Amino acid sequence: MSLQRQIIDELGVRPVIDVDEEIRNRVDFLKHYVKNNGSSGLLIAISGGLDSAVAAGLCKQATDELTQEEGKEYKTLGVFQPYGQQSDIEDSYAVAQAFELDFKTETNIEEAVDEIALEVEYSLKGLGIHKHVSIPGKGNIKARTRMVVQYALAFELNLIVVGTDHASEALTGFFTKYGDGAVDINPLSTLNKRQISQLAEKLGVPRSVIDKVPTAGLWEGQTDEQELGVTYEENNSYLEGKTIDPASAEKLEQHYLRTRHKRNKIPGI
């Protein structure tokens, strides 16, 4: 079996999807998890990007259906988490408006992130290392701080924290293990980026969000494709079993092999 085939099987990606069927299955998946865990609904951080927008649409449909079926209120809480001034924050609010989210809140993480970074720098200084936290390092602090806030809100409101990780990210390891990647449930896990766009069209995600350049928002000007050195078009095609440029395929496989630990559970003995 080729490594490509092995990766596709491991991540569970199908080459062609029925969009209506995928939406139905993922909404039912969310509903089942909420009911089985006795929670009051779902929490989704809405970044203004495609993945969180689709996840928000699935969450809202799931909690709306549960409310109607169970005769009591289930909520989807949309959380906006800028670091200082977020240039595309209007896209986050546009997603909430498109899906008519009744519950939403904004938690600015700037002060918390800066304090954590400062404490790290003090600790480094105590070790005789005089340096500022690196740009990627601070990006990871942002991701992890966002998760701390999400889980604090979820605890107080009895909500399930929903993630946005998907197969195209899993392939490259482009998530922060047990920081940005630690959530309660991942409704997009077996979809690639192209398939998520297909769900976005059906769900009614705003066009400004569907068309924007993918970015994790870790620092100013950062984009996923620039960071990884391979396009999502190539990533998607690889996961659909298609033949792509050998150099790009090799790069994707190197990302996959180098980041295998991120997809594994924490090792024990």
User: Per-domain residue ranges for the chain?
Assistant: 14-228
Q: Which of 30-44, 120-134, 164-178 has the lowest mean pLDDT?
A: 164-178
> Given this model, what pLDDT does residue 88 score?
84
| Catalytic residue list contains 51 | yes
**pLDDT band for position 180 (cuts 50, 70, 90):** low
> Given this model, what pLDDT does residue 261 score?
86
- Out of 22, 91, 165, 169, the active site residue is 169
- Out of 22, 51, 165, 224, the active site residue is 51
**pLDDT band for position 59 (cuts 50, 70, 90):** very high
The pLDDT of 208-223, averaged and rounded, is 75
Catalogue the long-range contacts made by 185-189 (C-beta closer than 8 Å, 24 or more residues apart).
185/29, 185/30, 185/33, 185/160, 185/161, 186/162, 187/26, 187/29, 187/30, 187/55, 187/58, 187/59, 187/162, 187/163, 188/26, 188/51, 188/54, 188/55, 188/163, 188/164, 189/11, 189/12, 189/165
> Given this model, what pLDDT does residue 178 score?
67
Q: Which of 13-17, 50-54, 134-138, 171-175 has the lowest mean pLDDT?
A: 171-175
In angstroms, the CA 64 to CA 203 distance is 14
| Catalytic residue list contains 169 | yes
Q: Which residue has the higher pLDDT, 218 or 163?
A: 163
The pLDDT of 62-83, averaged and rounded, is 97
> One-letter amino acid identity for 112?
A
Residues in the chain: 269
> Given this model, what pLDDT does residue 154 score?
98
CATH of 14-228, one of 3.40.50.620, 3.10.450.230, 2.60.120.10, 2.40.50.140: 3.40.50.620
> Given this model, what pLDDT does residue 175 score?
75
> One-letter amino acid identity for 160?
I
Is the pLDDT assigned to residue 179 strictly greater than 60? no
**Global confidence as pTM:** 0.92
In angstroms, the CA 35 to CA 45 distance is 21
